[in-house]
Amino acid sequence: MALSVAAVVAAGLVGGVTGGLIGGNDTGGTVPASTPISQNVGNNKATDVSAIADKVLPSVVQVNVRSGNQQGLGSGVILTADGRILTNNHVVTGASQVSVTLNDGRKFTAKVVGTDVASDLAVLQLDDASGLTPAALGDSSAVKVGDQVVAIGSPGGLQGTVTTGIVSALNRDVNVSEDEGGGNPYAGNSRGEQTTYKAIQTDASINQGNSGGPLVNSAGQVIGINSAIYSPVSTPDGRAGSVGIGFSIPINDAKTVIDKIVTS
């Protein structure tokens, strides 16, 4: 399976890289479940995407990284009001500087609290942040094939981009080793550890820069962290292009990893 890095990386300016991995819960950041945001149309319910976007966008950030003369970016999810952020490991691995831009434009420096290569997750902490809007974390075990979902992130640096689709499959095996990273300095590590997880598959458009952003359900709850795309073809400039097959780390798995990171 050909996967692509959705963390946008380039030397000197933001660009893209084709590779093996795309581009990253604390219970304190969990918001109680709410009534699904929808409108009645006859006997069916149509998801009101604008209402979901209004609810979730304040909890989604752009993660900016630098290592030497290289820059990269991904997305992230706010877990706590004081600035704990969830993103992908491959977004921040190797970065000497990390900063985060909120949806309202405010910028914060950040430090990496911890990472987990196996699940491709990382936790950040913003410096001197307060009063942020934590995302509502859902229950990924309740997700069903055909559920409507929304992906939010910064594809190509276009912060606050919202795309829609459905859950097209569950429990997809995603396996990425360091040598599949396509030269991306933020994918893999010197120990050659492998990323392996059972993913939620979606046809919501996910591209480079969406890494670490949320996949949310019709209630505006995060049910996955966008991490990889299937990309058998590249664009003329060599970047991987979305063909409507994306993979997200189930949020229940992420909650376990976050607890391990923040308590270690």
Say whether 237 is catalytic.
Answer: no
141 within 8 A of 252, measured Cβ to Cβ: yes
> What pLDDT is stored for residue 252 in this prediction?
98
> What pLDDT is stored for residue 158 in this prediction?
95
Say whether 90 is catalytic.
Answer: yes
Domains of the chain by start residue, with CATH: 3-263 (2.40.10.120)
- Active-site residue, selected from the candidate residues 59, 90, 227, 248: 90
Q: What does the CA dihedral 230, 199, 222, 218 come to, rounded to 10 degrees?
A: 80
What DSSP element (H or E) covers 222? Answer: strand 222-230
> What pLDDT is stored for residue 181 in this prediction?
41
Q: What is the DSSP letter of 220?
A: S
Q: What does the CA dihedral 152, 153, 158, 164 come to, rounded to 10 degrees?
A: -30
- Active-site residue, selected from the candidate residues 4, 154, 211, 242: 211
pTM of the full structure: 0.80
- Active-site residue, selected from the candidate residues 116, 120, 147, 253: 120
Residue 247 token pair: 């993979």
Q: What is the pLDDT along the chain (264 residues), one digit of tens a residue?
A: 445 444 343 333 232 222 333 343 232 333 333 334 433 333 335 569 999 999 999 999 999 999 888 899 999 999 999 999 999 999 999 999 999 999 999 999 999 999 999 999 999 999 999 999 999 999 999 999 999 999 999 999 999 999 999 999 999 999 876 444 433 433 434 456 788 999 999 999 999 899 999 999 999 999 999 999 887 765 565 566 667 899 999 999 999 999 999 998
> What pLDDT is stored for residue 236 in this prediction?
60
**Selection from 222, 218, 209, 208 nearest residue 59 by Cα:** 222
Say whether 234 is catalytic.
Answer: no
What DSSP element (H or E) covers 172? Answer: strand 161-176
